[in-house]
Amino acid sequence: MEQIRNFSIIAHIDHGKSTLADRFIQRAKLVEDRDFHNQMLDTMDIERERGITIKSQTVCLPYTNKAGEEFILNLIDTPGHVDFSYEVSRALASCEGVLLLVDATQGVQAQTLANLYAALEHNLAIIPVINKIDSPSADVEHTKEEIETELGLDADEAILASGKTGAGMEEILEAITRDVPPPSGDSAKPLSALVFDAKYDPFRGAIISCRIFDGTLRTGDTIRLMSLGTTHRVEEVGVFRIAREKRKEIHAGEVGYVIAGIKTVSDTRIGDTITLEDNPVTAPLPGFREVKPVVFSSVYPMEAEDFDSLSDSLERYKLNDASLIYQKDSSQALGQGFRCGFLGLLHLEIFQERLEREFAQSIIMTAPSVEYRFILKNGETLTIDNPQNYPDPMAIEGTTEPYIKATILMPDRYMGAVMKLCLDKRGENSHFSYPVPGRIELVFELPLAEVVFDFYDKLKSVTQGYGSFDYELIDYRPSDLVKLDILVNGDKVDALAIIVHKDRAHARAASVCEKLRKEIPRHLFKIAIQGAIGGKIVSRSTVAPFRKDVTAKCYGGDITRKRKLLEKQAKGKKKMRSVGQVMIPQSAFVAVLKTDDE
């Protein structure tokens, strides 16, 4: 156990985490050079394309230090986004130390800070690494200053590195063996292992990644997942060396995997404790909680007859994404679909993209919503995440909505613009500090509903990319809410309805009508778009009809060209859904929440 080091790399998005991991893997010669590719641990297309990590990955790296001692370094790669902060916390709980990566060209960012706090909570050894020192725009001195003042770490200990050139790799690996403590634990004690990830394998079912704190896990053991109370017989245990490497047993202090005939990842819980059925620990490891979705959206097939196929895809999708929840939903306008819950907007976007790409589904997703709570006059409390289920306004005593605490880091010159943005988004109780001269840490309490959609994009835009952002849910607060209905040619389109704050309702109604006017293509007839609150029309826009659209000449040589044009148009129509006689494009359903023109 003395020769094991369990560590993770934490960093703000784009600070070079995956590239650094790649260098470790190459150095350890876990793969042949010809099999190597960038972002080795990011196995999904979408992870590579977007340069983000969605699923945790583990790799066991053999390393011989300068003194000639042999070590096993277990790198636990964690997701890099706030939507997955619980997963990150469980991965960190499985480590004894972290590499805290700071981009020398960007300095300390909001997530660097959030990640540091998370590591400190778990009492982890922290090795600061300044990355991308080879970049022409690297400012090592300034980054060091930020590490001292903003993170309170000793900048002299920071290792200068470049994932790109490989500079500093040796120092980092030495530091891990020197500064990260070896795991403690007793292989003879009753088993307690922390589940920090689970993946689906079509042949083996759920493959659980776990850290053994005490005890030994062997093939043939009967294990119990403590939060679920289910028992399973262990088919295989082992460690990750990019590919799975089978072992007879894994011991206290080690990180590895277990396959135990568990059908899907939904039959596991991240943060759960694995123990032995016949020799259990008395208490599970701390920190477990059920992950709850915070953002909700409905998904409908583009063609109503594809509902079964969509249903099937969701089932398969869920095999590998336990945090997705969904249930049947139906809309007058769009027919049968599903209401889905997500950990955040990125989670939702990933879902949408993978459903379209990997599952070849053509879908419409409605504007995301948060979960509102309604107190009714009869004393009942109603939780509503779908505007369609908005209660009778006469029966409502009060309404509440979820609030977050947002932490925003930025150069001070953007303070005015960001303050305005936050106030526009109904922010309150702000305070700020100057962690270093020239930089501001701004804390705001904001309704989650205002943030879920385009807050991050807007923040990036008003700070020219220099602002970073992190948030946590705090509580529900009373809020004056109304439902905004949208009518297209007199027909209420339920899938376009949104719940909005009363003070913003009229402005929002006008903006939605204007947006839809741009989104809905022209037809052969005039289309009236109306916004209504409580049955009263409060805004209106019109899509003008085609007045003249015909080519003058159509003779022998023009017919093929004309037909091809029509075929193209027909294809475009497939990306739309007809509501009454009006074709509404996919994009319109989400556009209602965008507020860039306000």
Q: Does 304 bind other proteins (CB under 8 A)?
A: no
Nearer to other proteins, 233 or 568 (CB): 568
With CB under 8 A as the contact rule, the residue among 34, 431, 536, 548 that binds other proteins is 548
Q: How far is the CB of 557 from other proteins (least distance, A)?
A: 5
How many whole angstroms separate alpha carbon 270 and alpha carbon 172? Answer: 29
Residue 195 · residue 210 · CB < 8 Å? yes
| All residues at 6 or more sequence positions from 55 whose CB lies less than 8 Å from its CB, including other chains | 43, 44, 47, 79, 197, 199
Q: Does 360 bind other proteins (CB under 8 A)?
A: no
Lookup: tokens for 74? 């277990």
Residue 486 · residue 512 · CB < 8 Å? yes
Q: How far is the CB of 305 from other proteins (least distance, A)?
A: 11
Q: How far is the CB of 555 from other proteins (least distance, A)?
A: 5
Burial of 539 by CB count in 10 Å (0-12 exposed, 13-18 middle, 19+ buried)? buried
Nearer to other proteins, 117 or 546 (CB): 546
Q: How far is the CB of 558 from other proteins (least distance, A)?
A: 8
Nearer to other proteins, 429 or 569 (CB): 569
Q: Does 581 bind other proteins (CB under 8 A)?
A: yes
Residue 511 · residue 597 · CB < 8 Å? yes
- Per-residue 3-state assignment (H helix, E strand, C coil) for 318-335: HHCCCCCEEEEEEECCCE
With CB under 8 A as the contact rule, the residue among 327, 524, 535, 536 that binds other proteins is 524
Q: Does 305 bind other proteins (CB under 8 A)?
A: no
Q: Does 431 bind other proteins (CB under 8 A)?
A: no
With CB under 8 A as the contact rule, the residue among 571, 577, 586, 587 that binds other proteins is 571
Nearer to other proteins, 536 or 571 (CB): 571
Three-state secondary structure call for residue 539: strand
Lookup: tokens for 369? 């919503």
Residue of 164, 154, 217 lying closest to 189 (CA atoms): 217
How many whole angstroms separate alpha carbon 448 and alpha carbon 451? Answer: 5
Nearer to other proteins, 413 or 563 (CB): 563
With CB under 8 A as the contact rule, the residue among 472, 478, 569, 598 that binds other proteins is 569
Name residues contacting other proteins, limited to 18-57 (CB under 8 A): none
Q: Does 434 bind other proteins (CB under 8 A)?
A: no
How many whole angstroms separate alpha carbon 52 and alpha carbon 54? Answer: 6
Lookup: tokens for 559? 């017919």
Q: Does 550 bind other proteins (CB under 8 A)?
A: yes
With CB under 8 A as the contact rule, the residue among 142, 477, 546, 598 that binds other proteins is 546
How many whole angstroms separate alpha carbon 145 and alpha carbon 434? Answer: 13
Q: Does 279 bind other proteins (CB under 8 A)?
A: no
Q: How far is the CB of 582 from other proteins (least distance, A)?
A: 10
How many whole angstroms separate alpha carbon 354 and alpha carbon 46? Answer: 8
Nearer to other proteins, 105 or 362 (CB): 362
Q: Does 547 bind other proteins (CB under 8 A)?
A: yes
Range in contact with other proteins (rule: CB under 8 A) among 29-37, 82-90, 129-137, 555-563: 555-563
Question: Under rule CB under 8 A, how many of the chain's residues touch other proteins?
Answer: 30
Range in contact with other proteins (rule: CB under 8 A) among 341-349, 429-437, 499-507, 519-527: 519-527
How many of the other CB atoms lie within 10 Å of CB of 136? 5
Nearer to other proteins, 34 or 571 (CB): 571
How many whole angstroms separate alpha carbon 400 and alpha carbon 474? Answer: 13
Sign of the CA dihedral 166, 167, 170, 176?
Answer: negative
Q: How far is the CB of 571 from other proteins (least distance, A)?
A: 7
Q: How far is the CB of 44 from other proteins (least distance, A)?
A: 34
Residue 88 · residue 118 · CB < 8 Å? yes
Range in contact with other proteins (rule: CB under 8 A) among 133-141, 315-323, 326-334, 558-566: 558-566
Q: How far is the CB of 544 from other proteins (least distance, A)?
A: 9
With CB under 8 A as the contact rule, the residue among 283, 438, 578, 598 that binds other proteins is 578
How many of the other CB atoms lie within 10 Å of CB of 532? 18
> What is the per-residue DSSP string for 119-133?
HHHTT-EEEEEEE-T
With CB under 8 A as the contact rule, the residue among 525, 533, 535, 542 that binds other proteins is 525
Q: How far is the CB of 562 from other proteins (least distance, A)?
A: 6
The helix (run of H) or strand (run of E) holding residue 88 is: helix 85-93
Nearer to other proteins, 325 or 583 (CB): 583
Paired strand residues for 299: 338, 365
The helix (run of H) or strand (run of E) holding residue 170 is: helix 169-179
Q: Does 573 bind other proteins (CB under 8 A)?
A: yes
| All residues at 6 or more sequence positions from 220 whose CB lies less than 8 Å from its CB, including other chains | 233, 234
Q: Does 557 bind other proteins (CB under 8 A)?
A: yes
Distances (CA, A) of 18 to 48, 281, 381: 10, 36, 45
Residue count of the chain, please give it. Answer: 598
Q: Does 536 bind other proteins (CB under 8 A)?
A: no
Q: How far is the CB of 163 from other proteins (least distance, A)?
A: 46
Nearer to other proteins, 34 or 553 (CB): 553
Distances (CA, A) of 170 to 143, 246, 331: 21, 29, 59
Q: Does 490 bind other proteins (CB under 8 A)?
A: no
Nearer to other proteins, 68 or 557 (CB): 557
Range in contact with other proteins (rule: CB under 8 A) among 64-72, 412-420, 478-486, 567-575: 567-575
Q: How far is the CB of 364 from other proteins (least distance, A)?
A: 17
Name residues contacting other proteins, limited to 444-463 (CB under 8 A): none
Angle, helix 85-93 to helix 110-121, in steps of 10 degrees: 40
Q: Does 554 bind other proteins (CB under 8 A)?
A: yes
Q: Does 549 bind other proteins (CB under 8 A)?
A: yes
How many whole angstroms separate alpha carbon 429 and alpha carbon 452? Answer: 19
| Residue ranges that bind other proteins, judged by CB under 8 A | 523-525, 545-557, 559-560, 562-563, 566-567, 569-574, 578, 581
